[in-house]
Amino acid sequence: MQNERVLVTGGAGFIGSNLANALATDNEVIALDNGYLGTPANLDSDVRYEERDVLDDDLPTDVDVVFHLAARSSYAMHEDDAVGGAAVNVDGFVNVAEQARQSGCDTVVYASTSSIYGSQTEPCPEEMPVTVNTAYEASKLSRERYGEYFSNHYGMSMAGMRFFSVYQGYRGAEGHKGEYANVIAQFADDVAHDRSPDLYGDGTQTRDFTHVDDIVRGLIDAGTHGLDGVYNLGTGEAYSFNTVVDRLNDVLGTDVEPVYVENPIPEDVYVSHTCADCSKIRDATGWEPQIGFESGVRRVCSPYLASTNSDD
């Protein structure tokens, strides 16, 4: 994507800022964020930042492509405030998409979630049945249905990207998410500081951990190709929480044992296993994940190792 005018909502957040910074190399980028889970400190100087809310009127949607990443992005946020979560995740999405349509922008790429597949140990294709067990999942599936509406009724290109366990590490833009960050980031910070990470249950649950750089490339590919429909973004490989801690100890040269705690999320709604089938976006754009689990863990650990070495 080059020489385009682009809006990224949630643009100062974790994924949004990584996307905005990557796009700003060759495009005019506006990052819109209300500061709830983002900070302008995540953004490069050539990104235009606007502190606005996706529920506002007169948003800067007179662009070529909208990347809609603004969301309340966890189970807990929605259980604590289901009405507020729906307002941001559903009403905010409809508001942005409608303003984009009225401004003449017909390409919207937006964040959905892999959680709607439930617990799956085999790679999940987009056509498999999905279900909703949490308010968070309901809000993201609602986005997909509204995306289908804007596509069918107005002919817009509406690409919903089902993310699989996105991570970068606290020393990147993910740091601003704190307790809502991916477990790799949380566990790495614990292990690096000789704290025992808390693992739910017995630690055998698995995730398809996907580095944010691969997610960013997938989003850009979706916008460049004007994709429509829903697409998985993951690696097709899954690793347990126990394996994450073991590998972090290996890379950091530590020997920190985890603590196993009771899962605070009800068993009937907790997603224990995720794994992506990404053949659909591969066939559409040629996208493939480039950062494997081992390489990704080393990237997360490298700032801690550099800090240790600088103290020597």
Separation CA 123–CA 129 (nearest Å): 13
pTM above 0.85, yes or no: yes
Q: Is the pLDDT of residue 267 over 60?
A: yes
Mean pLDDT of the residues in the chain: 95
Query: Domains plus CATH for the chain?
Result: 5-166+210-233 (3.40.50.720), 169-207+237-310 (3.90.25.10)
**In the predicted model, what is the mean pLDDT of residues 216-226?**
98
- Taking only the tens place, the pLDDT of each residue in 139-151 is 999 999 999 999 9
- Which has more pLDDT, 250 or 37? 250
Q: What pLDDT sits at residue 311?
A: 60
